[in-house]
A and B are shown apart, each in its own frame.
Chain A
Amino acid sequence: MKYAHFEPSVEKFAEKRGLPKTKVTKLKKAVDQWLDSVRIDPWYPAGLVAAESMGEPATQATLRTFHFAGAAEVSVTSGVDRMLEIADALRKIKTPSMRIYLKEPYSKDEDKAREFALSIQETYLKDVAKISEDYFSREIRIDLDEGAIEDRGLDKDTIVSKVAAKVKKKVEPEGNTIVLTFGEDMPLMKLRKLRMSLEKLHLSGIRGIRFAVVGKDGDEYVVSTSGTNLKAILKHKAVDHTRTISNDIHEVAEVLGIEAARYVIIEELKKAYGDMEVDLRHFSLLADLLTYDGYYEAVGRTGVAGKKGSVFARAAFEETGKHLTEAAIWGEVEHLKGVVENLIVGLPVKVGTGRVKLVMKLGE
């Protein structure tokens, strides 16, 4: 077969259908022919077509994001908002989220999956208790909320011991109330600071994961989170680290490397476009462009467009004056290779028919 990498799938298909040998060769030929026909021409303006193909449906998409009422859902930015996040390589995305695949037995047992989800949710003391201070008697009062503690899958004793470790003092709870009394010499400022640090006392879970819910993917249980910490979650023994992924592309690039980030860009673009039909290859071209420098960068003047080799192309985009003066200072040379450059000068663009030179065979 001419396109060898298609051979296994064609053979698999033939085997499934039980096609005879002669038909298989015929099929291979037909597939080759079809692939020839869908191949783009030389000097095809793939970048522009990709840009228009992704840009046009985006103008039609609403800026609305869908939020699902109720607790057991992780809301994710979608539509134009998300497209912009990806293309502009925003460091702080609106809804960072992870999709955690689990190892057995967690993946098959709903209760175990729930338990896991609960255990990774970050919990601080302020989530399970009301903390108040009294400057007159120099006291800090912690009123534990039994219901909240149970909801978070914690127990009172560990909380008490953690508080004790924090304040470096013996702590004796009375019912659900812990009263920390300090002496006269305790400065009020220090009391206040202690209260504030107690509020942020980490009790359980993985930092960064604000919320985790269990969902189902086929026959296994999967945990979706709001907030991410890929590095920490991949270390967890219950997690299937081969499939677990975050939608924070910068994080993925840092933890798993740039190729993984490229993959996430494509997947996230697919999700952002939803049911608008855009060819996968446009996404992959954009993903390549965003990552080919070895790190994830935006398309704008700080990223891809700002790093173009041509002065005119950069000047035509944004900050015209800046690019022209800098080019003058460094003595840059414009080679007139791209589209905009040639348009500025008034020459045919070097794509399509503009690139082809006609050669005539004489004497035939």
Chain B
Amino acid sequence: MSDAKVYINGRLVGFHKDPLKLVDAIRARRRSGQLPYTVSVTYYDTTNEVYIYTDAGRVSRPVIVVKDGKPLLTEEHIKALEEGRIRWKDLVRQGIVEYLDPEEEENAYIAPDYEHVTKEHTHVEIHPAIIFGVGVASLPYSERNLSSRNLHGAKMLDQGLGLYAANFRLRTDTMSYILYYPQKPIVRSRVADYMNYDRRPSGQNIVVAVTPDLYAMDDALVMNLDSVQRGLLRAVFFRTYTAVERRYPGGQRDRFERPTEDVSGYLGEEYYHAIGDDGLPIPETYVKGGDVLVGRTSPPRFLEEVTQFGIIEENRTESSITVRMDEEGYVDNVLITDDPNGSRMVKVKLRQEKIPELGDKFAARGGQKGVVGMFVPQEDMPYTAQGIVPDLIFNAHSFLSRMTVSYLLEILAGKAGALRGRRVDGTPWHEEPIEDLEAYLKSKGFRPSGKEILYDGLTGEEIKARIFIGPTYYQRLKHLVSQKIQARARGPIQILTRQPTEGKAREGGIRFGEMERDTLIGHGAAMTLYERLVEESDKTTILICEECGNVAVDDAIRRERYCPVCGSRKVQEVEVSYAFKLLLDELKALGIYPKVVLRDKA
């Protein structure tokens, strides 16, 4: 075989006759501390290439080195660690533990734990849970789930509202959410400790009853209205609005002030209620969508006109910052500072309480998400013999195909943990034995299965089936209906096409697209389609000259209609879409003469 190519940080630096020897030598030096522990070296026998990486930005993780089927980390080391005689650094320096990056993992054969170490293995995991990423490993019992469910769960973990930063009051994030009473999960994973999850939690332990319910169909959730009113999973939403006093060429600049009535574009007295004379809002005033948050006027677009008296009249235009149409709330904070250009800048933080409402999204860990389908008053919810009323009803059908065992175990473990007042360890491959939890439940007079007799809140009758009930950690996800709901009957239109605008921020319509169009044609519903695409959109009446087929004009002052091209007065009104009129105009602009031939309506 030819010599192996050797790459350092992706660059070909040379060739080597015996790549395996080279790789071994580099590894030996790294383990003996002669090379930094961050260096990685990999040999690909398929392409006969050696990759050496020393650069930053690689994700690497520690594993225990195995030599001749024996892990180098022994009981003695652990004892010494516990007694404080050695430290982690020493283990790395001695080559007992080494860091692998994704590239070098390709050359490693890593045993999940000490029991499974064989002669072929090169490394052993410090803990089997490390084979998951941080996200999945921090979910309790995740080793018992389908991998896809864990992936969903880990993805939702960063959508959960919580305490994202302790200094949130001082920060000026464009958007941020804070959960009112974040709790530490009862059932925890020790991996979550390494990202300080207990100090920045993003959910609450709530009591869940697992039962089929009509209003919990297709991943809907039924919530206890009273729990919500007591503050369950309540959050607050902050949005920071920014306003800058811009400078313009010629020494002019914007001004923060309360616009007076003579300012062009003046909105109306009621929109300026939240601001003072300096144009800035007064903290803790309530503002609605459209209200002015920061009053600002800009210099006129064109140079001032000189009046007959020789005085330059400045006609400033209104350019205030208003609250978004779909938002409201209290002015939380007003910050005055300078922007990088040295202009005066104001940041206004708006605070809005977000109480769980119909359609908000919630998720347990392990990928079981859902939206609220109904709120039920506490008196109508089912209750246990002890009087425990669930905060949430979770549909039992959600288990059949997804097989999220972690959810079931979390309820059971959560129940035991809540009863004994101590948190339960659910770290993957390192759990408290389920049997112990069951035994504890039994000793406290509960069924070891976690099921209980529930009574129907409406009738007071005992529900025939035994219902699985217990506390589970639930997250409120950042997808709130109040920020997604969109509807329009009338509203702004685009200037060019006279069709409704697009997008929620512009009060837009929902596009009746090509495929929707096809459904109506398929049904032969021509008039419905006409209504959607013309009447409710860009219908216009244009005048057409009978003689030459051009668009005619209506002279309102002289009260006459005539064709500006041929001068004919034979003009007809025609109802078309404005887009068509535009097409005619554009064709004319291209030098094409589109002639509209009129015929009597048959």
Interface residues of A (CB under 8 A from B): 41, 43-45, 48-49, 52, 324-325, 328, 333, 339, 343-355, 357
B485 cross-chain contacts in A, Cβ below 8 A: none
Q: Chain B, interface size: which category?
A: 20 to 34
Pick from B526, B539, B580, B590: contact of A349, CB below 8 A: B526
Cα A347 to Cα B161 with chains together (Å) = 50
Interface code B522-537, partner A: CB below 8 Å = 1, 0 otherwise?
1111110110011000
A353 cross-chain contacts in B, Cβ below 8 A: 524-527
B80 cross-chain contacts in A, Cβ below 8 A: none
Q: How far is the CB of A341 from chain B (nearest CB, A)?
A: 10
| Contact, CB under 8 Å: B530 / A52 | no
Q: Is B311 an interface residue (CB 8 A)?
A: no
- Near A by CB (< 8 A), chain B positions 580-602 give 580, 583, 587, 590, 592-593, 597, 602
| Contact, CB under 8 Å: B577 / A346 | yes
Interface of B is mostly: helix
Cα A328 to Cα B597 with chains together (Å) = 15
Chain B residue with minimal CB distance to A55? Answer: B518
Given A44-B524, A48-B522, A352-B523, are A346 and B592 also a contact pair (CB < 8 Å)?
Answer: no
Chain A residue with minimal CB distance to B530? Answer: A348
B593 cross-chain contacts in A, Cβ below 8 A: 328
Chain B residue with minimal CB distance to A40? Answer: B524
| Contact, CB under 8 Å: B526 / A355 | yes
Interface residues of B (CB under 8 A from A): 517-518, 521-527, 529-530, 533-534, 538-539, 575-580, 583, 587, 590, 592-593, 597, 602
Q: How far is the CB of B518 from chain A (nearest CB, A)?
A: 6
Chain A residue with minimal CB distance to B581? Answer: A346
A343 cross-chain contacts in B, Cβ below 8 A: 517, 529, 533
Q: How far is the CB of A57 from chain B (nearest CB, A)?
A: 15
Pick from A41, A344, A352, A357: contact of B526, CB below 8 A: A352
Given A325-B592, A328-B592, A343-B533, are A352 and B521 also a contact pair (CB < 8 Å)?
Answer: yes
B530 cross-chain contacts in A, Cβ below 8 A: 347-349, 354
A-B contact count (CB 8 A): 73
Q: How far is the CB of A315 from chain B (nearest CB, A)?
A: 10
B577 cross-chain contacts in A, Cβ below 8 A: 344-346
Given A325-B592, A346-B533, A357-B602, are A45 and B579 also a contact pair (CB < 8 Å)?
Answer: no
A44 cross-chain contacts in B, Cβ below 8 A: 524
| Contact, CB under 8 Å: B580 / A45 | no
27 intermolecular pairs with C-beta atoms under 8 Å apart: A43-B524, A48-B521, A324-B590, A324-B592, A328-B587, A328-B592, A339-B521, A344-B577, A344-B580, A344-B583, A346-B538, A346-B575, A346-B576, A347-B530, A348-B527, A348-B530, A350-B526, A351-B524, A351-B526, A352-B521, A352-B524, A352-B525, A353-B524, A353-B525, A353-B527, A354-B529, A355-B526
| Contact, CB under 8 Å: B522 / A49 | yes
| Contact, CB under 8 Å: A348 / B526 | yes
B518 cross-chain contacts in A, Cβ below 8 A: 48, 52
Known: A48-B521, A346-B579, A355-B526. 10 other contacts (CB 8 A): A48-B522, A52-B522, A324-B587, A325-B592, A339-B521, A346-B533, A346-B578, A346-B580, A347-B534, A352-B523
Cα A354 to Cα B527 with chains together (Å) = 6
Q: How far is the CB of B527 from chain A (nearest CB, A)?
A: 5
Cα A355 to Cα B539 with chains together (Å) = 20
Cα A315 to Cα B593 with chains together (Å) = 17
Cα A351 to Cα B528 with chains together (Å) = 12
B529 cross-chain contacts in A, Cβ below 8 A: 343, 348-349, 354
State the 9 A-B residue pairs at the shortest beta-carbon distance, nearest first: A352-B524, A354-B526, A346-B577, A328-B592, A348-B530, A346-B576, A346-B534, A348-B526, A353-B526
B521 cross-chain contacts in A, Cβ below 8 A: 45, 48, 339, 349, 351-352
Pick from B524, B539, B576, B592: contact of A45, CB below 8 A: B524
Chain B residue with minimal CB distance to A352? Answer: B524
B525 cross-chain contacts in A, Cβ below 8 A: 352-353
Cα A347 to Cα B597 with chains together (Å) = 15
| Contact, CB under 8 Å: A347 / B592 | no
A355 cross-chain contacts in B, Cβ below 8 A: 526
B580 cross-chain contacts in A, Cβ below 8 A: 344-346
Chain B residue with minimal CB distance to A47? Answer: B521
Cα A348 to Cα B593 with chains together (Å) = 25
| Contact, CB under 8 Å: A347 / B576 | yes
B526 cross-chain contacts in A, Cβ below 8 A: 348-355
Chain B residue with minimal CB distance to A339? Answer: B521
Cα A325 to Cα B527 with chains together (Å) = 32
Q: How far is the CB of B535 from chain A (nearest CB, A)?
A: 9
B522 cross-chain contacts in A, Cβ below 8 A: 45, 48-49, 52
